[in-house]
Structure 1
Amino acid sequence: MNAIKKRLEDTLEKIDTTLDAPLDIAALATAAACSRFHFQRQFSAFVGMGVADYQRLMRFRRAGLQLAFRHETPITEVAFNAHYENLESFSRAFKRVFGQSPSAFRKLPDWSRWQETYQPILDLKGEIMRNVELSAEEVRIVTFEETLVASLEHRGPPAQIPASVRKFIAWRKDFGTPPSKSATYNLFYDDPKTAPAEAFRFGICCKVERPVEKNTFGVETGIIPGGRCAVFRHRGPLENADDAIREFYKDWLPASGETLRDFPLFVERVSFFPDVAEHEAITDIYLPLQQ
């Protein structure tokens, strides 16, 4: 079973990293070390859908995030990026999956429907695909400089974080702090796996040069305090960093002899999906330490 899951992991990774390439069933079967006569049946038995349907759904995931968070990208361009020749066919297919047209989704996404669509797939991939293990050599001790930030605190179910992110992006556009000019941070106040959904907190921040003016978005001035931190760089979807973060606490911290500071784990999003391919995303993960 482990050998089969490893081959399936290789297959999923190959599809995920070549979303813009035509499906090559023979190459995927080779990656899965499986006869092409059996490959698609084995894939659908594990994943719950065919290879083409999986690729289409991953393309729709990218398209949905572009619609929700990149309003400067025309819907026709989103459709083309999703490999549809015209907007009409893209709109029909998108609505079948999400119950909303692309324009309606761009205006007010139904994140509950989105969660229902993708969370089972992400959970399955989390079970199948190996999370990158953390090695002590990857961890650096740095002095993080105190950073003035604009901060929006999300409170409530983790599934609704995208709605808060949209609100923060709208503020960033008004305030003139795009990711290209201002570092992006997230504060992990709570563990979504253990905190009650209604009490869950998550910080969405970006670096600013002056205090935040009063606004209708709920964005306030905050500070990420300076001090010693342990940091490691994660490549790929942040969801795949769970095991490495656990090892950060469970293995690296006791072996290091360090003591934690009274500030939550936080990350800097160096580059992120959908601006780059999901496997090319880079996140620096910081663990605050006492002096």
Structure 2
Amino acid sequence: MNPCDSRAEYESRMHRVLAYIDQHLDKPLDLATLAEVAHFSSFHFHRLFAAWMGETLGDYLRRRRIEVAAIKLLAQPRVKILHIALSVGFGSAEAFSRAFRIRFGCSPSAWREQQTSQRHAKSNFGQINSKQSQALPTPLAEHSISSNIHQEMIMQVILVDRKPATVAYLRHLGSYGASVARFWQESYVPWAAMNKLGADHARYGIAHDNPDVTDAAQCRYDAGAEVPPDFVLTGGALKQTIPGGKYAVLRFKGTAAHIGEAWASLLRDWLPSSGLQLDARPCFEYYPQGAAFDEETGYFECELCLPVTSL
């Protein structure tokens, strides 16, 4: 195996472990189990994981449990803190509160209250701005979706049952927004052209972390295209399966500067009133065949897909 193939194999195994962790946060995640998922010796896996991720396995598990819990505290404001603690693998509310305070500097209940207050402030600001944006000429008003997205949210979100999809992808590690837009243009587009994955292939942007609770340097984002299961990988790409099931879908039109607020509003404004909750599947952007994109302005269209299940 040449060095490039060897590195891709390591990366594929580590990505598989990270996905397994996110899908099983409510269960015990011991070293032996995760080493088996990665197909590495349990004797060496802890050291390999720390070298690859820049943090120990224990620190990573603790961080992901706290970050996912923080997202649930915001998206499910009526769910008891103990229930959220148990859903991410903590044995008690006390243990969860201690770990949460170390990470965020306050208790889970105080953090929830703070975020709720900020949510109301942003919603009120959006209602004021939406009145102002009505007087703006296009295309400026067309790109001001962050100001009126809250008002239109309930009408725009639909529930869709999606089938599983195989995606060949490249991973971006770092902040979202403009850097992700550059990643699409500078990394994904040349790779897709080399592999003849043009506009006739649906594309996916998969956000594995929420930048509101995860440090920007640790945010993971995959840019990829839907491919047959037997697609031959080249150019450092990897494959994953996007799970099927029920998703809440918001059709987005705007630029990279606005998509973060669209995601935040979907979680902050729509989900808490929907009677639904997040599950362990990843959130993603779906770009169907022929989705609009203006290279000059950066304006594009996609569907924001939020995995949901009954509350």
Calculate the TM-score normalised by the size of structure 2. 0.49
Please say if residues 256 and 298 of structure 2, whose CA atoms lie closer than 8 Å, have aligned partners that are also in contact: no
Q: 1:7 to 1:143 in 2, by over 3 A?
A: closer
- 258-267 or 134-143, which deviates more: 134-143
Counterpart of 2:239 in structure 1: which amino acid? T
Who is 1:227 aligned against?
245
Q: 1:255 to 1:189 in 2, by over 3 A?
A: same
Who is 2:229 aligned against?
210
> Does 1:14 pair with 2:138?
yes
> Does 1:183 pair with 2:215?
no
1: CA distance, partners of 2:277 / 2:140? 38
> Does 1:289 pair with 2:299?
no
CA deviation vs aligned residue, 1:26-51 (integer Å, no higher than 9, x gap) = xxxxxxxxxxxxxxxxxxxxxxxxxx
CA deviation vs aligned residue, 1:178-235 (integer Å, no higher than 9, x gap) = 1x2101111111233443232121111111123442423x211111111111112122
> Does 1:262 pair with 2:273?
no
Counterpart of 1:226 in structure 2: which amino acid? G
Counterpart of 1:130 in structure 2: which amino acid? S
CA shift for structure 1 position 289: 1.6
1: CA distance, partners of 2:131 / 2:277? 40
Q: 1:289 to 1:17 in 2, by over 3 A?
A: closer
Q: 1:285 to 1:253 in 2, by over 3 A?
A: same
CA deviation vs aligned residue, 1:221-264 (integer Å, no higher than 9, x gap) = 11111111111212222532444433322333232221212022
Aligned length in residues: 181
Who is 1:88 aligned against?
none
2: CA distance, partners of 1:132 / 1:278? 19
2: CA distance, partners of 1:234 / 1:220? 27
SS in 2 for 1:253: helix
Who is 2:216 aligned against?
197
Counterpart of 1:237 in structure 2: which amino acid? T
Counterpart of 2:149 in structure 1: which amino acid? V
Counterpart of 2:189 (choices 169, 182, 185) is 169
SS in 1 for 2:147: coil
Q: 1:198 to 1:140 in 2, by over 3 A?
A: same
CA shift for structure 1 position 13: 5.0
Deviating runs (4+, > 6 A) in structure 1?
4-8
SS in 1 for 2:252: strand
Who is 1:59 aligned against?
none
2: CA distance, partners of 1:155 / 1:247? 23
Please say if residues 249 and 305 of structure 2, whose CA atoms lie closer than 8 Å, have aligned partners that are also in contact: yes
2: CA distance, partners of 1:160 / 1:276? 17
Unaligned 5+ runs, structure 2: 1-125
Who is 2:164 aligned against?
146
Please say if residues 187 and 203 of structure 1, whose CA atoms lie closer than 8 Å, have aligned partners that are also in contact: yes
SS in 2 for 1:187: strand
Please say if residues 188 and 266 of structure 1, whose CA atoms lie closer than 8 Å, have aligned partners that are also in contact: yes
Who is 1:35 aligned against?
none
1: CA distance, partners of 2:182 / 2:156? 34
SS in 2 for 1:290: strand
Q: 1:16 to 1:160 in 2, by over 3 A?
A: same
1: CA distance, partners of 2:154 / 2:129? 27
Unaligned 5+ runs, structure 1: 19-121
CA shift for structure 1 position 140: 1.4
